[in-house]
């Protein structure tokens, strides 16, 4: 965090929602393909898949589609050359996405992670140790492990079945079942960086603060934490995509205006894929809330509102 809290707050407030433009992981994987490999993939596509590729919004999206469809159709020897780990959890095991475009994990979210860290000055190089906090069955960390095998990769999640699937099917990554409350099963200063995709978007305020403290414990001094959260841009997204009732939107807006935080236990007694906790539901928070709770232990080095599909905000914090 900069020493001038007010200036940092004003700077963040001046930013407009911006989507991910760079595609570092996509580009590295796609560069492993020859023109003949690409033609072989295109030859396997049905009319719907060809239309998706032909009408892709940009070059990065087109490349991701080709890489995902390569995995779906198991086009050899291109698949072996690219080195993407294929396979997906069965329906009874938690996964953040399913379908033909998800079999090799999320290349887009791997791009999001690497780009976010790069903007914070953290390059992912061999010899580092990284943790996917809330990894589910490993859809992001598996892609990162495929591209950066020299990093010591870890993933943890309270969903034991998802962790077990990752242990059995994804190699080169250590998976651990995490508790629903701190501490994690790691020594102090175990990691150079941690990323958490859509995790603080579900913690209650108490849990959010407690887990920030735990991140401080497991991340080394000078290390980084990347997290995504629901914020004010998510309200716009919720109205457009999730059809939130206007009454609920007003409650969230008012809570953010006066408290900086809103939480609701949306899962109740049924829990979320076996995870039953009153501290796990739906949460929204403002940059001011996060800035206040992280100083002076963290420096805020990168922020983009709506970075995740014009929905969640992305933050990168540096451990002091």
The predicted-structure confidence for 10-42, as pLDDT tens digits, reads as follows 777 778 888 899 999 999 999 999 999 999 999
Residue 313, in any domain of the structure: yes
Residue 128, in any domain of the structure: yes
Residue 285, in any domain of the structure: yes
**What is the CATH number for 304?**
3.40.50.150
Between 101-105, 155-159, 313-317, the lowest mean confidence (pLDDT) is in 101-105
Q: Does the pLDDT at position 243 exceed 80?
A: no
- Beta-carbon contacts of residue 206 (< 8 Å; ≥ 6 apart): 279
| Torsion angle, alpha carbons of 44, 100, 156, 182, to 10 | 150
Number of residues assigned to the chain:
320
Residue 216, in any domain of the structure: yes
Residues 13-17: contacts with CB within 8 Å, 24+ apart? 13/287, 15/303, 15/304, 15/305, 16/305, 17/233, 17/304, 17/305, 17/306, 17/307, 17/310
The tally of domains found in the chain comes to: 1
Supply the pLDDT for residue 5: 57
| CA pseudo-torsion sign 288, 201, 279, 219 | negative
Residue 312, in any domain of the structure: yes
Residue 48, in any domain of the structure: no
Supply the pLDDT for residue 1: 39
Supply the pLDDT for residue 15: 82
Residue 179, in any domain of the structure: yes
How would residue 111 be classed by pLDDT, with cut points 50, 70 and 90? very high
How would residue 4 be classed by pLDDT, with cut points 50, 70 and 90? low
CB 104 within 8 A of CB 86: yes
User: In the predicted model, what is the mean pLDDT of the chain?
Assistant: 94
Residue 64, in any domain of the structure: no
- 130: tokens are 């990284």
Supply the pLDDT for residue 255: 98
Q: Does the pLDDT at position 126 exceed 50?
A: yes
Question: What percent of the chain stands above pLDDT 90?
Answer: 87
What is the residue range of 176's domain?
Answer: 89-319
Supply the pLDDT for residue 12: 76
């Amino acid at each position: 965090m900069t020493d001038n809290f007010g200036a940092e707050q004003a700077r963040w407030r001046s930013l407009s929602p911006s989507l991910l433009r760079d595609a570092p992981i996509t580009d590295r994987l796609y560069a492993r393909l020859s023109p003949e490999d690409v033609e072989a993939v295109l030859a396997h596509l049905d009319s719907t898949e060809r239309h998706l590729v032909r009408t892709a919004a940009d070059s990065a999206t087109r490349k991701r589609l080709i890489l995902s469809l390569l995995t779906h159709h198991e086009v050899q020897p291109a698949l072996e050359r690219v080195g993407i780990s294929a396979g997906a959890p069965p329906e009874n095991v938690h996964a953040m996405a399913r379908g033909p475009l998800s079999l090799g994990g999320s290349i887009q979210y791997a791009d999001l992670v690497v780009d976010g860290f790069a903007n914070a000055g953290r390059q992912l190089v061999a010899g580092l140790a990284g943790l996917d906090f809330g990894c589910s069955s490993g859809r992001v960390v598996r892609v990162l492990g495929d591209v950066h095998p020299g990093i010591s990769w870890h993933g943890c999640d309270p969903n034991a079945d998802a962790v077990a699937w990752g242990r059995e099917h994804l190699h080169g990554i250590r998976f651990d079942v995490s508790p629903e409350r701190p501490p994690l099963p790691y020594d102090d200063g175990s990691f150079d960086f941690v990323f958490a995709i859509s995790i603080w978007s579900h913690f209650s305020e108490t849990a959010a603060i407690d887990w920030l403290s735990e991140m401080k414990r497991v991340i080394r001094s000078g290390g980084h934490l990347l997290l995504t959260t629901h914020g004010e841009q998510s309200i716009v997204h919720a109205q457009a995509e999730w059809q939130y009732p206007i009454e609920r939107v007003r409650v969230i807006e008012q809570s953010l205006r006066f408290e900086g935080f809103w939480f609701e236990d949306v899962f109740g007694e049924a829990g979320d894929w076996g995870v039953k906790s009153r501290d796990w539901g739906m949460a929204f928070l403002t940059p001011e809330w996060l800035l206040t709770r992280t100083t002076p232990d963290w420096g805020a080095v990168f922020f983009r509102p709506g970075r995740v599909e014009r929905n969640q905000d992305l933050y990168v914090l540096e451990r002091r």
